[in-house]
Amino acid sequence: MIDIPAELAATQEKYNKEAGRAFVAALPDLTAAFLDRWDLRLAGEPMHGVGALVLPVDRADGTPAVLKLQIRDHESEGEPVALRLWNGDGAVRLLDHDEPTGTMLLERLDASRMLAHQPDVHEGVLVIARLLAHLHTTTAPEGMRRLGDMTAAVLERTPRALDRIPEPEARRLVADCAAAVREVADDPGDRLLHWDLHDENVLAADRAPWLAIDPKPLAGDPGFDLWPALANNFDPDDIVWRFDAMTDVLALDRARARAWTYGRLLQKCLWETEEGRPPDETDLEIARRLRGRRA
């Protein structure tokens, strides 16, 4: 038997409601089944993120690994596809995968050496940019969820979101972001994006200084991948430096990258307004700082 972390149960209840409760209830039996199926031995205490239970294990030959159990949804279903294509170049390596459940066996990285623990925030941003440069060399496969489809849906829903923003300055800012996204929407890109690369999703390993974990992949423009590193360890006075540094490393056109970064604001704004909340002030401030950057 394993102990299911209370925090994981709480987040599943919050975000996935009945499906989350069913997932948590099934985890002990599901874990036991995969330990037996893949001939694994538990090798440490359970870990978890918002949506997954991660168990350190050893394979029959002694190889260290982790067993990741999560709800299979439109975000997580692309994770094994992306990891298989990246094949360890800049990301954790996939060792085995069960498609019906989304359960994965991954190489074990050093969870005690997370990029978030590094004191130099600027170096952390550069690490993320260099990892993205590796990941973005891969063309997204057919069937991967696509930024173009997401953008069309977001722009269609934006007028309703604007009606729900009472504060005039915030409403104008979101409307300006939508206008910028419309200018690039016809060319959404085809790179394999991580979508959520911030400093808690980067771990150290013996075979590489840093590797990305936990992608929520999609096909699109690399500029759409900048937002997490801009918002992480939020410092409004550092936003322009981070944006310039990342676009330099990735050799991106800054006007285009800024427009796709605004696309993340629109996506997040919809999540907030459709739940009856105002846009997040951190998100708005990132947009303000980038709007003030003219070059």
d(C-alpha 2, C-alpha 198), whole Å: 29
pLDDT for the residue numbered 294? 58
User: Is the confidence at residue 50, as pLDDT, over 90?
Assistant: no
Query: Which residue is listed with tokens 């050893």?
Result: 58
How large is the average pLDDT for residues 155-174?
Answer: 95
Report the C-alpha gap between 106 and 47 in whole angstroms. Answer: 14
The answer to whether residue 295 scores a pLDDT higher than 60 is no
- The answer to whether 196 is a known catalytic residue is yes
What was the pLDDT predicted at 61? 97
Report the C-alpha dihedral over residues 176, 180, 182, 185, rounded to 10 degrees. Answer: -150
Sort 288 into a burial class: Cβ within 10 Å, 0-12 / 13-18 / 19+: middle
Dihedral pair phi/psi, residue 183, rounded to 5°: -70, -20
Per residue in 105-144, pLDDT (tens digit) is 999 999 999 999 999 999 999 999 999 999 999 999 999 9
Assess whether pLDDT exceeds 90 at residue 235.
Answer: yes
Q: What are phi and psi of 146, to 5 degrees?
A: -120, 140
Token duo for residue 260: 């796709």
Q: pLDDT tier at 34 (50, 70, 90 boundaries)?
A: very high
Predicted TM-score (pTM) of this structure: 0.94
Marked catalytic residue, from 58, 89, 96, 196? 196
Residue 75, pLDDT score: 81
